[in-house]
Amino acid sequence: MGRFWHIIRRDLQMAMKQGMDSFMVVMFFVIAVVLFPLGAGPEANMLARISAGVIWVAALLASMLSLERLFQTDYEDGSLELLSLAPYPLEAVVLAKVCAHWLTTGLPLIAAAPLLAVLLNMQTEGFVILAAALALGTLSLSLIGAVGAALILGSRRGGVLLSLLILPLYIPVLIFGVSAVDAAIGGFPMKAQFLILGGFFLAALPLCPWASAAALRQALE
């Protein structure tokens, strides 16, 4: 566990030194959401109807911005090869890097989401559910994204390939995340949606680090 936390601290320190990456993720999220009222018009009821979907789609796309470099920097400077030879599982290394990625991208998106919900005229009943659904959903997005980032390691035009690989896998998280917020706003139970989001996370937690580690070993050979 000491090594696990050391990798998280190392990645967080690197992210702070390269602070523009996290800033760009949040700025993309904000700009993408702000563009919808400008394009669709200022009609309050229409914005309220689409608010959950707009925020979720923008968060999903924003979380992808920094995925390409999840392993790329360590791959280029040789750190990844040293980590693969260390006397602890590569799956634990992947999980630690996913945690650091979520802390630097998912957490700022969750913090910004309620403010953007006000801009889109979302009803106040949806604010807490939006943050909770994003917290659970972005964890799954980071885990799934790690698999794509490992598969494209060392390839040209990795960003386009990464999008093609992981966007179809993001769709179920998007659907049930939006559904949970809409249910809360409409006064309906949202327990089923959260159970499904939790099921996605519990399935991704063991499977995605294992698949990512296998892809990393293949890339390092």
Q: Express each pLDDT in 27-83 by its tens digit.
A: 999 998 888 888 777 777 888 888 889 999 999 988 888 787 778 777 777 777 777
- Report the domain count for the chain: 1
> What's at 73, amino acid-wise?
T
* pLDDT reported for residue 13: 81
What does pTM read for this prediction? Answer: 0.88
Q: Is 34 exposed, middle or buried (0-12, 13-18, 19+ CB in 10 A)?
A: middle
Confidence of residue 195 (pLDDT cuts 50, 70, 90): very high
User: Mean pLDDT, to the nearest integer, of 182-204?
Assistant: 91
Confidence of residue 135 (pLDDT cuts 50, 70, 90): very high
Residue tagged 């995605």 (tokens): 208
What is the rounded average pLDDT for all residues in the chain? 85
Domain range spanning residue 214? 2-220
Residue 9 to residue 15: CA distance in whole angstroms? 10
User: Which residue in 170, 134, 118 sits closest to 56, CA to CA?
Assistant: 134
Say whether pLDDT at 1 is over 70: no
User: Mean pLDDT, to the nearest integer, of 151-169?
Assistant: 79
Query: Could you tell me which residue, 114 or 80, shows the higher pLDDT?
Result: 114
Query: Could you tell me which residue, 220 or 109, shows the higher pLDDT?
Result: 109
User: Mean pLDDT, to the nearest integer, of 148-158?
Assistant: 77
User: Which residue in 202, 7, 1 sits closest to 101, CA to CA?
Assistant: 7
